Amino acid sequence: MLRLYDNHLSGNGYKPRLLLAHLGSAYEAVEVDIMKGESRTPEFLARNPNGRVPVLELDDGTCIAESNAILHFLAEGSRFLPTDRLSRALILQWMFFEQYSHEPFIAVARHWICHTGMSEAQRAQLPGKHEGGHAALAVMEGHLCRSDWFVGTGMTIADIALYAYTHVADEGGFDLAGYPAVRDWLVRVRQQPGHVPM
């Protein structure tokens, strides 16, 4: 059976959890207590030398790290990852956007505010995190004004990747009032049959 090393607070971990629910795939969830250093033990680092959750372990012990790579692996052959070359490229475009221009701002601000308490240095960086996060939300708003989904005519793993931290952006101090198309899209994702909350 698939095994998912994960932390229940992690939006990156929520991505494969949400996709696995949509796929109806059984898996064993293994909670990793990041705050207690469980993602830095020799056993965990053997699974992901980069020391981060989530990690997907296959039946033969092979491990796949990086939430969006896990999504891509799991979605292969399903409606959440179309087969045509251009759609796949655009899905990856939005997933790399998520990891480079969205997560480091919105997820990190949420993590500092909700989970770790802020150091002085982090407090000084928070306005920059909010500026970067709002820039990402503005890019999403512009796209979602013209399209119900990020790629094509149905929900794909690009939507799942971007939903994970956008739907809890308020916990990072982001007000979504100025992004009506993003808010409508969040409702569309949540209303898909098979949806599970974080």
Cβ atoms 62, 37 nearer than 8 A: no
- Kindly state the number of chain residues that form the binding site for a copy of itself, as judged by CB under 8 A: 34
CA distance 59 to 68: 20
CA distance 177 to 116: 26
For a copy of itself, which is the closer residue by CB, 76 or 175? 76
Instruction: Give, as ranges, the residues between 27 and 86 that touch a copy of itself (CB under 8 A).
Output: 49-50, 58, 62, 64-70, 72-73, 76, 85-86
Is residue 145 close enough to count as binding a copy of itself by CB under 8 A?
no
Burial (Cβ within 10 Å: 0-12, 13-18, ≥19) of residue 42: exposed
For a copy of itself, which is the closer residue by CB, 18 or 48? 48
Nearest to 143 by CA among 107, 191, 98, 94: 94
> Minimum distance from CB of 147 to a copy of itself (Å)?
12
Q: Which stretch binds a copy of itself (CB under 8 A): 23-31, 87-95, 167-175, 178-186?
A: 87-95
Is residue 143 close enough to count as binding a copy of itself by CB under 8 A?
yes
Is residue 162 close enough to count as binding a copy of itself by CB under 8 A?
no
CA distance 193 to 153: 16
CA distance 95 to 26: 25
Q: Which stretch binds a copy of itself (CB under 8 A): 24-32, 36-44, 139-147, 189-197?
A: 139-147
3-state secondary structure 62-75: CEEECHHHHHHHHH
Is residue 96 close enough to count as binding a copy of itself by CB under 8 A?
yes
* Footprint of a copy of itself (CB under 8 A): 49-50, 58, 62, 64-70, 72-73, 76, 85-86, 88-90, 92-93, 95-97, 99-101, 103-104, 121, 124, 139, 142-143
